[in-house]
Structure 1
Amino acid sequence: MADETDTTSGAGPDGGHIRTGPEASDSLKYSQEVTSPDDEPERDGRSLATTSHDVIREWAEARDATPATVDGTEHDGHLGVLRFDFGGDSDRLRHVEWEEWFETFDERRLNFIYQETRSDGSESNFFRLDNPEREDG
């Protein structure tokens, strides 16, 4: 059995299921939930949503993307804005370890909304992070 404190692999603390709340975006509401790397999109271009660490990591690694944060957005010793570096020329991204990226992702109770492919079947790098429980202030 996997160690439940290991945040670098597995389904994550919510079993890969999307997190819900009063501020859930329309994107989340209309996305297909994915809880395992074995789940397939219903069709090309379909918006997908997950909290599964395995799904997120496999998606990023298939695109040679590295977990990152936007430099200068950190606060109180915590990562700032979470991103992926797809190998572009941005000097604003700072690479971080998967463990730290997932720890921040889970602490903020985020959902990963993404596409595997565009509607024409070509690979998509689209993703966004969504917090359905957005706190005021």
Structure 2
Amino acid sequence: MNYQRRPSTRNVHTSPDSSRLLKQAQEISSPTDRPARPGRALVTTDHEVIRRWAERRGARPATMPGSAYNGHLGVLRLDFPGYGGAVLQPVDWDEWFADFDARGLSFLYQEQWADGSLSNFNRLEGVDRVVG
């Protein structure tokens, strides 16, 4: 199967610096939690929050082909429709979340940019970087 992504139609916004965002991130622990303000950096480990955020943007769980090791997924990604870049291999949510949990990751993300437009910004971070 060819896992090539579509030609680039990248968001015009640039990705924020995650180190700065981690210090200011609001923790979201359930799908009912809401950001304090638009553009606020958010962080969660809640599977339903992550899944809903991704699905609202048409993103699907994925990995980099050839990055698997010891029977586990390698590089975890979300594959957004219409974005160019790396070749990604789709995986199911259960497998993606199993590796997410096993690595002790957190999902750093934004719902909206400060101007209110939808943001696709996301990054996986080790929990120690988020809480430390």
Q: TM-score, normalised by structure 1?
A: 0.75
Deviations 1:50-72 (A, max 9, x none): 00001000000000000001112
Corresponding residue number in structure 2 for 1:5:
none
Corresponding residue number in structure 2 for 1:19:
none
Q: Does 1:35 align with 2:29?
A: yes
Displacement after TM superposition at 1:106 (Å)? 0.2
**1:40-119 correspondence runs (5 A):** 40-87=34-81, 88-90=83-85, 92-119=87-114
Q: Quick one: structure 1 residues 28 and 91, their matched pair in 2 at CA, closer, same or farther if it must change by over 3 Å?
A: closer
Structure 1 vs Structure 2: percent identity of aligned residues?
Answer: 55
Q: Quick one: structure 1 residues 132 and 91, their matched pair in 2 at CA, closer, same or farther if it must change by over 3 Å?
A: closer
Corresponding residue number in structure 1 for 2:8:
none
- Specify every segment of 5 or more residues in structure 1 that has no aligned partner in the other structure, as ranges: 1-24
CA distance in 2, matches of 1:130, 1:116: 17
Count of matched residue positions in the alignment of Structure 1 and Structure 2: 110
CA distance in 2, matches of 1:102, 1:132: 15
Higher helix share: 2
- Specify every segment of 5 or more residues in structure 2 that has no aligned partner in the other structure, as ranges: 1-18
Deviations 1:60-111 (A, max 9, x none): 0000000001112111221011101102344610000000000000000000
- The amino acid across from 2:47 in the alignment is H
- The amino acid across from 1:51 in the alignment is T
Q: Displaced runs of 4+ in structure 1, greater than 6 A?
A: none
CA RMSD of aligned residues (A): 1.6
SS state of the match for residue 76, structure 1? coil
CA distance in 2, matches of 1:90, 1:29: 29
CA distance in 1, matches of 2:80, 2:90: 11
Corresponding residue number in structure 2 for 1:124:
119
